[in-house]
Amino acid sequence: MKQDSCQVTVIDRKRIELARKQMPGAEVLENVSEVLKLLGDTTRLRILLALATTELCVCDLAALLEMTSSAISHQLRLLRARGIVKYRKEGKIVYYSLDDPQVQSLIKVSMDQIG
């Protein structure tokens, strides 16, 4: 009853094996936690909640959240990188909107369950 791969004592191997079988692969895990981490910031969450209502340009998002458009732009870049939001250019104005239905429903569930 001793010494696993990193000086950790094991109490119940059966339970560990049981839990290990259910555990998703590293890739899935990384994916899920990355999305949840993106949602786990008030600025980004507010951006997404706003965009859930209506498409908005960067400066209106900035006005709504009372932040600089630079700060908003930085966060939008991260959301864009994960395909959570998309944009549409109209002249010099860039309109953002939600682009991932699954993330969208995850947000809704989160608000319903936790908020």
Q: How is residue 22 written in tokens?
A: 């259910």
Q: How is residue 27 written in tokens?
A: 């890739």
Contact partner at residue 24 from a second copy, DNA, none, CB < 5 to 8 Å by partner kind: a second copy
Least distance in Å: CB of 86 to DNA? 11
Least distance in Å: CB of 87 to DNA? 6
- Specify burial of residue 60 (Cβ count, 10 A radius: 0-12, 13-18, 19+): middle
Q: How is residue 91 written in tokens?
A: 């002249």
Q: Which residues lie near a second copy (CB under 8 A)?
A: 4-12, 15-16, 18-20, 22-24, 28-42, 45-46, 49-57, 59-60, 62-64, 66-69, 93, 102-103, 105-106, 109-111, 113-115
